[in-house]
């Protein structure tokens, strides 16, 4: 039976919200009781997160390899995942989440293993520079530089440069679709697909879901505002379509999958973006996962819905990148 949570400060009295029981249990567990990030420095938050990580599962995969690729202003760590010995494999270039401030290749290792296996594609997980030390547009330029290099050197790595996609979750979803904008506007690399997992797209943080789900669902409105404050170099960057893709011209972007979670403050901006893509003539598969919260797709230890969501995205990518 589903658990319910109500809070008159966030929603009308008649609104009863229903959270998946496994997610409810996670929200009550010590792993979800992080200190309020907006009260910490970025460095202290990164240190604290090392104590709050879910245990790694390390799902089996054919092969992984850590390499170094050129970023916009220096070398970047990239982890390559191969689900099989087949060559050349299609390639997904993946950008991790973490509010542009936290996250790394290690935290997303399980997610990337499952997504590579589900898609049958090679996957390159990019460890881009983080804010506030490297604010916008530095992380984005790192992501584009990594994509361009991996496309150019794809044959040497055993990947097919004609079958490329970008993917990412949360802040990484923002970077994935902004990288797709740059690839369109800079005449390549040519992308066949973009997979966006509850992307962060709107610095205003003022959507209906952002207001209704402002507290109590793992990601808060206050935390998102703090992340955006650290990411954007100047207030005017909030209007830049490369930082705020909801403001972008979307025609000519590759087809997309956009997934959202019912109890995620970012839900409405992700769904609005899917509608904007459709309006621009871009083919979109949009899925909302009921009972889920922000970050659920990486919670393989918490809910089987994580595996299902990655399988759904993997199937989309497999179809899009088939020969």
Mean pLDDT of the chain: 93
Q: Is 96 a catalytic residue?
A: no
- The predicted structure's pLDDT at residue 278: 98
270: which 2 tokens?
Answer: 């992700």
Q: Is 264 a catalytic residue?
A: yes
- The predicted structure's pLDDT at residue 237: 97
- The predicted structure's pLDDT at residue 5: 41
The DSSP bridge pattern shows strands 75-82 and 63-70 to be: antiparallel
Strand residues in 98-171 grouped as ranges (E): 122-127, 159-169
Average pLDDT over residues 280-307: 97
125, 170, 207, 298: the active-site residue: 170
Q: How far is the C-alpha of 62 from the C-alpha of 101, rounded, in Å?
A: 31
Average pLDDT over residues 239-252: 97
Examine the pLDDT at 234 and tell me if it is beyond 80: yes
Examine the pLDDT at 101 and tell me if it is beyond 60: yes
**3-class SS of residue 34:** coil
- The predicted structure's pLDDT at residue 150: 98
The residue whose two tokens read 């369109």 is 184
Tell me the β-bridge partners of 168: 95, 196
List all residues 6 or more positions away from 66 whose beta carbon is below 8 Å from its beta carbon. 77, 78, 79, 80, 105
The percentage of residues in the chain with a pLDDT greater than 70, rounded to a whole number, is 93
CB 83 within 8 A of CB 53: no
The residue whose two tokens read 């992984």 is 64
Q: How far is the C-alpha of 249 from the C-alpha of 281, rounded, in Å?
A: 11
Q: How far is the C-alpha of 259 from the C-alpha of 42, rounded, in Å?
A: 28
Examine the pLDDT at 248 and tell me if it is beyond 60: yes
- The predicted structure's pLDDT at residue 45: 84
Average pLDDT over residues 141-157: 98
47 or 20: which leads in pLDDT: 20
Q: What is the pTM of this model?
A: 0.93
- The predicted structure's pLDDT at residue 264: 98
**3-class SS of residue 240:** coil
Chain segment 6-15, per-residue pLDDT in tens: 343 344 444 4
- The predicted structure's pLDDT at residue 43: 87
Examine the pLDDT at 17 and tell me if it is beyond 80: no
Chain segment 207-226, per-residue pLDDT in tens: 999 999 999 999 999 999 99
Average pLDDT over residues 77-100: 98
264, 268, 312, 316: the active-site residue: 264
- The predicted structure's pLDDT at residue 8: 35
119, 294, 312, 316: the active-site residue: 294
Alpha helices, H only, 208-289: 208-212, 221-231, 267-279
The DSSP bridge pattern shows strands 193-197 and 159-169 to be: parallel
Examine the pLDDT at 3 and tell me if it is beyond 60: no
Chain segment 173-212, per-residue pLDDT in tens: 999 999 999 999 999 999 999 999 999 999 999 999 999 9
Q: Is 294 a catalytic residue?
A: yes
The percentage of residues in the chain with a pLDDT greater than 90, rounded to a whole number, is 85
Number of H helices, E strands in the chain: 10, 10
Examine the pLDDT at 72 and tell me if it is beyond 50: yes
Average pLDDT over residues 90-114: 97
The residue whose two tokens read 């393989």 is 300
**181: Cα within 13 Å, side-chain hemisphere:** 20
CB 296 within 8 A of CB 305: yes
CB 121 within 8 A of CB 153: no
Largest separation between any pair of C-alpha atoms in the chain: 60
| Per-residue b or e along 70-91, where b marks 16 or more CB atoms closer than 10 Å to that residue's CB | ebbeeebbbbbbbbeeeebbbb
Domain ranges of the chain: 57-320
Average pLDDT over residues 240-265: 98
- The predicted structure's pLDDT at residue 318: 98
236: which 2 tokens?
Answer: 């005017």
* CATH fold for the domain made of 57-320: Rossmann fold (3.40.50)
Examine the pLDDT at 66 and tell me if it is beyond 80: yes
Cα 107 to chain centroid, rounded: 13
| Per-residue b or e along 197-211, where b marks 16 or more CB atoms closer than 10 Å to that residue's CB | bbbbbbbebebebbe
| Per-residue b or e along 220-229, where b marks 16 or more CB atoms closer than 10 Å to that residue's CB | bbebbbbbbe
By 3-state DSSP, what share of the chain in percent is helix, strand and coil, each rounded to 5? 40, 20, 40
Q: How far is the C-alpha of 176 from the C-alpha of 253, rounded, in Å?
A: 11
Q: Which pLDDT band holds residue 30 (cuts at 50, 70, 90)? A: confident
């Amino acid at each position: 039976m589903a658990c319910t949570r109500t809070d008159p400060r966030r929603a009308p009295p008649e609104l009863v919200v229903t959270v998946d029981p496994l997610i409810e249990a996670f929200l009550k567990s010590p792993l979800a009781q992080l200190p309020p990030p907006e009260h910490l420095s970025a460095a202290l938050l990164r240190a604290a997160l090392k104590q709050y990580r879910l245990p790694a599962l390390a799902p089996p995969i054919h092969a992984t390899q850590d390499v170094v690729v050129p970023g916009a202003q220096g070398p970047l760590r990239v982890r390559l995942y191969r689900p099989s010995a087949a060559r050349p494999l299609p390639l997904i270039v993946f950008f991790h989440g973490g509010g542009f401030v936290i996250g790394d290749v290690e935290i997303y290792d399980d997610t990337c293993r499952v997504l590579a296996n589900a898609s049958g594609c090679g996957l390159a997980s990019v460890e881009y520079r983080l804010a506030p030390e490297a604010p916008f547009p530095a992380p984005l330029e790192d992501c584009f530089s990594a994509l361009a290099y991996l496309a150019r050197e794809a044959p040497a790595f055993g990947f097919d440069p004609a079958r490329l996609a970008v993917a990412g979750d949360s802040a990484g979803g923002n970077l994935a679709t902004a990288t797709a904008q740059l690839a369109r506007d800079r005449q390549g690399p040519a992308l066949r697909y973009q997979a966006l997992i509850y992307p962060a797209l709107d610095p205003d943080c003022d959507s209906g879901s952002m207001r209704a789900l402002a507290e109590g669902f793992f990601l808060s409105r206050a935390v998102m505002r703090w992340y955006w404050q650290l990411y954007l170099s100047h207030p005017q960057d909030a209007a830049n379509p490369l930082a705020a893709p909801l403001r972008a011209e979307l025609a000519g972007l590759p087809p997309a999958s956009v997934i959202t979670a019912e109890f995620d403050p970012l839900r409405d901006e992700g769904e609005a973006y899917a509608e904007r893509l459709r309006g621009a003539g871009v083919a979109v598969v949009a899925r909302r996962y009921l009972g889920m919260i922000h970050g659920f797709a990486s919670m393989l230890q918490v809910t089987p819905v994580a595996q299902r969501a990655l399988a759904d995205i993997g199937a989309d990518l497999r179809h899009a990148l088939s020969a």
